[in-house]
Copies of this chain bind each other. A is one copy, B any other.
Amino acid sequence: MTSPSTTAAPGAVDPASPTWTIAEVAEEFGVTHRTVRHYEDLGLISPERRGTTRVYHRRDRTRLGLILRGKRLGFPLEEIRTIIDLYDAPRGRRSQLEYVLAQIDERREDLEQRRRDLEAALSELTEFERRCRSDLERMA
């Protein structure tokens, strides 16, 4: 159901690496094809074109996974784009590498703020549950 397309056709470019159609990746990640196309419009993924048809490689699936995780974490798509582009950014020159390292630091700050918020929310929830359970006990 989520197995790659049988791309053994004459026009196959690299038979070693599997490819997927838009319907397959959408199905697999639980989104609509419209969503996948929207991410492409925003430049978050750029599948190969065989003629006019989109052909998705492992790289695209990886990026789609990162996008959806970013969404679950509440990041806007524009920000997600800069984040995953970071992973593919050129790091040839020292200046580029240092820029990337600086970006990484910003990202970490943000993620750790979120973690603090998350921990706080979870511990408040746990404390609230404790109170509820003690209430329940007193009622029995």
B-contacting residues of A (Cβ < 8 Å)? 69-70, 72-75, 87, 91, 94, 97-98, 100-101, 104, 107-108, 111-115, 117-118, 120-122, 125-126, 128-129, 132-133, 135-136, 139
Contact = CB atoms under 8 A, between A and B. Distances in A.
Contact of A122 (B74, B97, B111): B111
A139 B72 contact: no
Which among A97, A118, A120, A128 has the highest number of chain B CB atoms within 10 Å? A118
B118 A132 contact: no
How many identical chains are in the complex?
2
18 contacts: A69-B117, A69-B120, A72-B113, A73-B117, A91-B132, A94-B136, A97-B135, A97-B139, A101-B133, A101-B136, A104-B128, A104-B132, A107-B125, A108-B126, A111-B125, A112-B122, A115-B115, A118-B118
| Interface pairs A-B: 4 shortest CB-CB | A74-B74, A104-B129, A69-B117, A72-B117
